[in-house]
Structure formats: C-alpha cells, structure tokens
Structure 1
Amino acid sequence: MSGDDDRKSELAREHKERQKQRTGAQAAEQSSRARRNTFIGAGVAVVVVAGGIFAATTLASTDGGETASAASTPSASASSLLPTELPSTAPPKKAGSVTCTYKRDDTVPNKFVGLPGKKPNLKLKTMTVSTNHGDVVIEVDANATPCSVNSMAFLAKKHFYDNTKCHRLVTPETAGLFLLQCGDPLAKADGKNPTDGQGTAGYVYGDEAVGVMPYGRGVVFLTQPQDAAGQNSSQFAISLSDENAQIEPQYSVLGVVKSGLEIIEKVAENGVTVNPDDVTGDGGSTAPKTPIVIKSVTVK
C-alpha cells in the first residue's frame, strides 16, 4: 500500500472515530435532557422535615402494581386559610417598561403553538382553570411576574390547555409533599405513558419572583427541571399544603388560589396511580386516580 493510501486509510479511521465520538456525545446529551426535563415532572424532590433533609421517593405497591395509598388529609399544621397577599413588587411597573424574551426549545416533547409577544399586559389579574370538577380561580400578579402571566395568557388564547390532564399529584405518601402539577400537553395521566411530565409548549423563558414568598398552601408556581434556571414553559403546580413552604426557592411564583382549592383536595383523597414505566424512574409520574382534566384556561 502506498503512502497516499496509508494516509487516506488513517484519515478515514480518524473520521470514523470522530463520528463515533459525536454520536456518543449526542446520545449522552439526549439522555441528560430526558432526565433533566422529566424533573419538570419531579422537580420538587427535596424537603426539609424535622430539621433533616431527605430525597423524595415514589411509593409503589408491594406487589409491583400501579396504585399507591390514598392521600392523607393535610396535617393540622397546614393553614385552612389561603394566602391573602401577592408577591407584587413596588412601585408598580409601567406598561412598555417590560420586555419578555421567549426562546424556542424543541429538545423535549412539546406542543408548539407559537411564541408569546414581547410586551406583556400588566393589567391581567385572574387566571381561571376550568376543570371537569369545577373552576379553580387564581389571582395572578402581572406586576411581579409579567412574562409568566403573559405566557399563560398567550397559551390560554391558543387553547393550549384545553382537554389536557393534570399528570402529577404528589401526596405525602409518594414524595413527602402535597401538590398538583399540570401543563404537560402530551400527558396521558394513565399510569402507563413513560414520558408524562416532559411535555412543554416548545419554548422557555426566564425566572421571575423566585423566593419572594414560600410555596405554602394555595400558592401557584411554575415548574422546571431541578437545579435548572430559565427553563420555564407551560407546566405549573398548585401547592396543597403549608408544609410545601420548605421547598427550596427555585420556582417562579405565578399567584395564589382564591377559590376552588377544595376541588383538588377532594380528588386527592382518592389517591394516585404510580407509573412503573416512567422513563427515569424518579417518581415523576404519579397521576390522580380520579382524573383532573383541564377543559379550558382563561386569563383576564
């Protein structure tokens, strides 16, 4: 074999090796993204209890089945009153002084209906989530979280949330917390779909009002991958216990529930269905045994 042929063979081997390395890197990145984004479904995974820290785990039935025990009634330490104040900043922002940035992201399962406008409406005050069990009315704070409220209003007008299922009910038995999570447009919430909790609106945007108030009972906040920042999209959680106030400040506060929280609490009494085929096995797929279906969302 001539020297030129040897050089060509060497270059071919190097090219093949680079391709192999790129393929491996891409596979690792895809795996990493899958895990990060499934934490949208299991992002609230560390709780402080009795002065100690423990990692939340999923409770599976002893026979390997799909069901878990019913949710317990909120403890006596949980307040029966909803928050009365929003996290609004002072002085009020002026219209036109805020510009929102939304970035397309198709690295995870998504339902893309476009990008919200850059100029938010600071006069929006109420987000009504109409479900198959009744309405949950949330007082939003466009002054504190203008881009978050703007995103919700955009998705609502696009009917993004219509006929979607709340995919994750976290109970003290399953993860030491008590909250409902919704907003994955592709979720089946049937205990079988392995990617429940990964779906988004196909774009992400920055954090707002993080740490301005604890995630106590009635507080509504956006969810994103654990330890991530600026990865907000369509998913949100409704806190059902003041004990959630122990959650580390990481998530943008959207507002507070003014009515309808008892609807979710009633459904929670029926317990959850654990998905044993969750793609990462991190407990992100624990759907309500009694489905909660969002019929529509209105922001005004």
Structure 2
Amino acid sequence: MSGDDDRKSELAREHKERQEKRAAEETSKTRRNTFIGAGVAVVVVAGGIFAATTLVNKDPEPAAAAASASPSASASPSLPTPSSSPAKKGPVTCTYKRDDSVPNKFVGLPGKKPNMKLKKMTIVTNRGTVGVDLMTDAAPCSVNSLSFLAKKKFYDNMKCHRLVTPDVSGVHLLQCGDPQAKADGKNPTDGQGTAGYIYGDENMDLPLVKGVVFMTQPGDAAGHNNSQFAISLSDENTQIGQGYNVVGIVSEGMDMLLGLAKSGQDLIVNPNDITGDGGTTVPKNPVIIKRITFS
C-alpha cells in the first residue's frame, strides 16, 4: 500500500473515531437534559415570548463532577426527612408576585403569613391517595402557596399533565399543577399553565430521591415557583442535581405512584408538545386530582 493510501486510511479512521465520540457525547447530553422538556422552550404567543414551565437539568456538570470525585456519591442517597433542612429563623413573611405572562387560572394571592403548624398534605386522586409529610419549617412559603390553592379548590378535578418513566427519558416522576392541561397527548401547551403568580426559592439543597415532592419552575429562572409540583419516583432523579423547592416526602401511596406506568408502553406520547422531548408523555389511564387537603 502506498504512502498516500496509508494516509487516507489513517484520516478515515480518525474521522470515524471523531464521529463516534460526538455521537456518544450527544447521547450523554440528551439523557442528561431530557427530564421534562429539553430545556427552556421559548414560545411565541400573542403579546410576547415566554418560557414554558418545565423541569430541566439546571446544573448537571457539578453533580457529575461530585459523583466522579467521591466513590460514595454513586450510592443511593438517603431519603430526607421533614427535619433534614434547617428551620427559618424568626417570623416568616412570604412574598407572591402576580405573573400574567403565561396561561393561568388566577384565584388570588396567598397571604403573607404562612401557617407553620401544617404537617401533612393529602392528595386524593382517581388512582389512589398520596400522603406527604411536609417540611413546613424549611419551605413555609411553598407550603403556604399549595395550601392556599387547595382551599380555593384550584387543584380539584385537575389532570396531572406529565408522567415520565426511565425508559422514556432516564428519570421517573409525576408532574401536576397546570390548570390548563388536558393530558390527552394532543394539547401542545400542556405544562405551561400556572396560578398566575410566582414566588421565591427555599429549601433547595436536598437531592431529588424517590419520594421527594418539589415545586417546578422554568429552567434557569430562579424565583419563579408557581402552582406546579412534581413527585420523584426514583433515586436516579438525583442526576439533575439540586435547586428546586422541596416541600415534603411521600409517606403514603408510593406503591400506587410506582404502578402508574410500568414502561413507556403505558404512556401516550405527545409529538406536538412544545416543551421539548423526553417529558412529553401522559399516562393512558389519566391521573386526576380530586382534591388536596392540609392538616
């Protein structure tokens, strides 16, 4: 074989190696970012541009670095408890700001003084009941918002608009709280609706292990918590890192939640969902919130 032929073979081999490396990097990146939406989906509507309310990987690199730096980091983290986060010192005042930039169902603003005695949230659905032990001391304004909306019957007869399973996007969770959602696999704007106000971040340092209940907000938009919340159904969800308001831990109904969809075969894929890929699924047998109560 001539020198030219040798050089051509070498260049072809290097080209193939670069292609394989790029493909591997893209696969890794997609798996990391495909949580609920592939990022912040920017949507043009009458009156302006807004970011779809989705849960995304805010900062995957630090989480990945921590996992590689410490052998123990790869082990399943322990389940937090209501006392896992420090209580806020002194009197608590919550601030809620009206936000009409996305589709919403406005029923008023919560009061500024939260009820610090609330210990449990009960979500009654058509598929079963979920009990949540609250972290009110660490997330008083989040709990106050949820309680206010529950009293206003905001969540009554609402369909949970997104269920993600590991075989679809590498994570496992149920997301609810969009008053506009149809959860039929057809509505392109599922996941954008809110209660028409936003509020700040709190209790954001806990891993999203199985059983954690947390508020969702647009990616890269700190302090934009709203009516939407999610329930983590797998320890693998820790791959997206921290940075979401954790409000409590599931204490009842986890078996029911894990049985909502055993695989992607139990889901309806919405190809028109503008929030991106990965999280554009709903259960074929819908999850409908009948009511939410606090005690």
Unpaired runs of 5+ in structure 2? 1-42, 66-74
Deviations 1:177-224 (A, max 9, x none): 11110011111100011100000000000000111x210000011000
Conservation of the 8 A alpha-carbon contact between 1:220 and 1:255: yes
| Matching residue of 2:7 | none
**Residue 168, structure 1, aligned to residue 181, structure 2:** no
Q: Which moved more, 1:188-197 or 1:285-294?
A: 285-294
Instruction: Give the structure 2 partner of residue 14 of structure 1.
Output: none
Question: How do 1:173-252 and structure 2 match up within 5 A?
Answer: 173-211=167-205, 213-252=206-245
Alignment partner, residue 69 of structure 2: none
Contact 1:42 1:284 (C-alpha < 8 Å) held by counterparts: no
Relative to the length of structure 2, the TM-score reads 0.75
Cα contact 2:169–2:279 (8 A) shared by 1: no
Q: Does 1:112 align with 2:106?
A: yes
- CA distance change for structure 1 residues 292 and 27 in 2, over 3 Å: closer, same or farther? closer
Q: Distance in 2 between matches of 1:289 and 1:160?
A: 24
Partner residue in 1 for 2:289: 294
Stretches of structure 1 lacking an aligned partner (at least 5 in a row): 1-25, 53-76
The SS at the match of 1:245 is: helix
Task: Please give the secondary structure, in 1, of the residue aligned with 2:236.
Answer: helix
TM-score, normalization by structure 1: 0.74
Deviation at 1:139, TM superposition (A): 0.7
Alignment of 1:1-300 (within 5 A): 32-33=49-50, 36-37=51-52, 40-44=53-57, 83-90=80-87, 93-94=89-90, 97-211=91-205, 213-269=206-262, 271-300=266-295
CA distance in 1, matches of 2:92, 2:242: 23
Aligned residues: CA RMSD:
2.6
Q: Distance in 2 between matches of 1:47 and 1:31?
A: 30
CA distance in 2, matches of 1:83, 1:263: 21
The separation in 1 between residues aligned to 2:294 and 2:96, in whole angstroms, is 19
Q: Number of residue pairs matched?
A: 241
Counterpart CA distance in 2 for 1:98 and 1:139 is 20
Cα pair 2:58 2:243 within 8 Å, conserved? no
Identity of aligned residues (%): 58
SS in 2 for 1:149: helix
Are the counterparts in 2 of residues 86 and 256 from structure 1 also a CA contact under 8 Å?
Answer: no
Q: Could you tell me how far 1:171 is from its partner in structure 2?
A: 1.0
CA contact (8 A) 2:64 2:239 kept: no
Residue 87 of structure 1 and its aligned partner are, at CA, apart by: 3.1
Judged with a 3 Å threshold, the aligned counterparts in structure 2 of structure 1 residues 84 and 31 are, in CA distance, closer, same or farther, namely: same
